Amino acid sequence: MERMLTEMPPWFWTFVALSFGGVWGSFLNVVIFRVPREKSVVSPPSSCPSCGARIAWYDNVPVLAWLWLRGKCRKCKAAISPRYPMIELITAFVSWALMHRFGPTGAYVLYFVFACALIAITFIDLDTWLIPDVITYPGIALGIIGAVALPEQPVVDHLLGAAIGGGVLAIVAVGAKWALKKDGMGFGDVKLLAMIGAFLGTRSLVFVVMLSSIQGVVLGIIWLTVNRNKPPPPPQADGFVPPAGAIPFGPFLSLAALEYLFFSDTLHALLGHARFGGD
Ligand SMILES: [Zn+2]
């Protein structure tokens, strides 16, 4: 079996990774919509948000179905947001990139689950300003279990990663609340960084905090400039009013974790050069 798998041509694994990623991206769309509404992600099957019609399997093919339906529900012709195929495309691309980096291995599966959690958290945080515990808590556990199953670094490094990741950001969150007299950073971000530390180990944390802060500031300034003449966003269904002209921090932590996952070697080399003055 193993010999058969390794003898498969590379295009086979590209095809597997892209379709596997697309299908899970389709599931992430369900997670992103239903988890904040505290609905089950397994039943009922997908239906049109406008008319409630069940979506047939052939209209649920990732990315392609949206294209041949021209972004409209087959029954009621209501527009289907391009965000659905976009999330499927992102997940398929990340799956392909992970396959490229790790090959058809256990590491691919583990980091694909991690990436799916990050993608779901990103869009749920953008929608609701909340990072659900039902994703971060099992994520922290899975990061530790993964370190036991695939011992590249000692397990204790991943345990410490979760503890330090959670601890450092908890201090920042409490400090920001004390200094600003309001919530500067949510505890969802704290649990997210604990999950990242559990998967990527202690050495990732300084990079993830640095990369997310830099990208958060740069994109935050662009966001404020682009939206400076726009009225503040309307309150959401549950009465929550998003802060005017602001974006949540969870997407930046998630993006930085993915960047570290793919470019850790380069990042460590860069830090080595900065510290020792290069060669
Ligand atoms: Zn419809």
Joined tokens for residue 8: 């498969």
Distance set, CA 150 to CA 22, 155, 164, 172, 257 (Å): 25, 9, 21, 32, 19
Helices (H), the chain: 2-6, 10-34, 64-68, 83-102, 106-128, 133-149, 155-180, 187-200, 203-226, 250-276
4 vs 196: which has the higher pLDDT: 196
C-alpha 55 – ligand 1 centre gap (Å): 9
Distance 15 CA to ligand 1 centre (A): 31
- What SS3 class is residue 112? helix
pLDDT (tens digit per residue) in 119-152: 999 999 988 888 999 999 999 999 999 998 887 7
**pTM score of the predicted model:** 0.87
Q: H-type helices in 103-186, by residue range?
A: 106-128, 133-149, 155-180
The structural domains of the chain, with segments of one domain joined by +, span 9-104, 129-279
Cα 67 to middle of ligand 1, angstroms:
16
Q: How far apart are CA 216 and CA 206, in angstroms?
A: 15
Q: How far apart are CA 227 and CA 230, in angstroms?
A: 5
76: CA distance to ligand 1 center in Å?
4
As a whole number, the mean pLDDT across the chain is: 87
CA of 35 from ligand 1 middle (Å) equals 21
Instruction: Report CA(50)–ligand 1 centroid distance (Å).
Output: 5
Least confident of 50-54, 93-97, 98-102: 50-54
3-class secondary-structure state, position 62: coil
CA of 194 to the centre of ligand 1 (A): 40
Q: What's the CA-to-centroid distance between 66 and ligand 1, angstroms?
A: 13
* 82 Cα: distance to centroid of ligand 1 (angstroms): 15
Q: Quick one: pLDDT band at residue 244, thresholds 50, 70, 90?
A: low
Measured in angstroms, how far is the CA atom of residue 77 from the centroid of ligand 1?
A: 6
Q: How far is the CA of 72 from the centre of ligand 1 (A)?
A: 8
Rounded to the nearest whole angstrom, what is the distance from the C-alpha of residue 196 to the centroid of ligand 1? 38
**Distance, CA 120 to ligand 1 centroid (Å)?**
24
Residues 198-216 have pLDDT tens digits of 999 999 999 999 999 999 9
- The answer to whether residues 115 and 261 touch, using CB atoms and an 8 Å cutoff, is yes
DSSP 58: G
Distance in Å, CA 36 to ligand 1 centroid: 22
Question: How far is ligand 1, taken at its centre, from the CA of residue 61, in Å?
Answer: 16
